[in-house]
Amino acid sequence: MMNLLCPYCGQETPAGEETEFACARCGGWLRREPNGKAWVLRPAAQKLPGEEEALALVAQSDRISNPQKRKKLLDQALALCPDSLGVNKAVLLFGRLGEPCKDILNYRRIKCYLLHAFSGEEKSTDQKEMLAELTEDPQLQRCLSLAPDRDAFIREYFLDLCRQYLNLFIKGSNRYNGSFLGFRLGSLEKNCAAPVAEMLRNMQSTPLPPPYGEALPAALKRAYETEIGSFAWVEKEGT
């Protein structure tokens, strides 16, 4: 057994074979990581009882498409580990998809559709509701109460929403990415630029309250770069 320095208390603690363990001095949860030929201890997020099993149910739900079955798995995960941030985030992103709904084209059941509030196409009453849900959603507030870093959670959540929105409603839309005999008309980056530039303009004219207001345009820009391509096309459209 070797002794390594604990990053929490600065004292030496015995580190055995386990990858994750509690510091013998202060009880902080640690992870042993290789550092060149030596080992070093880093702070680790402690798993809650039942969390591993609960996150496995979340992963299982991500692999299936039936919304009712997915909701059942997420409910089970939440019952197993109600305080898991990972589980609560999955529930947040799932939104109202699992609710029975006669109107199959009701996009509002898809969480990322909230970003459509910035498309300039929503009625003002709907837009108001959608903007409020982006920041006041009780499930979002639940996640923020569990998150060790609230701002980081908001950035991550918005990035997920933006990625999904771009893939489903911009990249996946025939309106922006029309094809003829199987060939796409125009380049993807160019076709998607105008609606995204419009969204950014609307985010500036109807900003969300801080710290959400700054996080959202930054997330949209990053999501554009990872899901579509060069952001220069959007800047060319004037933001």
Which residues contribute to the site for Zn ion (CB under 5 A)?
A: 6, 8-9, 23, 25-26, 28
Judged by CB, which is closer to Zn ion: 28, or 50? 28
Judged by CB, which is closer to Zn ion: 32, or 155? 32
Q: Indicate the pairing of strand 29-35 with strand 183-184.
A: unpaired
Judged by CB, which is closer to Zn ion: 26, or 56? 26
Tell me the residue type at 119. S
Q: Are 116 and 107 in contact (CB under 8 A)?
A: yes
Tell me the residue type at 158. F
Q: Is 66 helix (H, G, I), strand (E, B) or coil?
A: coil
Judged by CB, which is closer to Zn ion: 12, or 133? 12
As measured in angstroms, the least distance from the Cβ of 35 to Zn ion is 18
Judged by CB, which is closer to Zn ion: 15, or 143? 15
As measured in angstroms, the least distance from the Cβ of 45 to Zn ion is 16
Q: Give the side-chain half-sphere CA count within 13 A for 230.
A: 7
Residue 22, judged by CB atoms within 10 A of its CB (0-12, 13-18, 19+), counts as middle
Q: How far apart are CA 127 and CA 13, in angstroms?
A: 55
Q: What is the radius of gyration, based on Cα positions, of the chain? A: 22
Q: How far apart are CA 106 and CA 32, in angstroms?
A: 48
As measured in angstroms, the least distance from the Cβ of 31 to Zn ion is 13
Judged by CB, which is closer to Zn ion: 26, or 45? 26
Q: Are 59 and 31 in contact (CB under 8 A)?
A: no
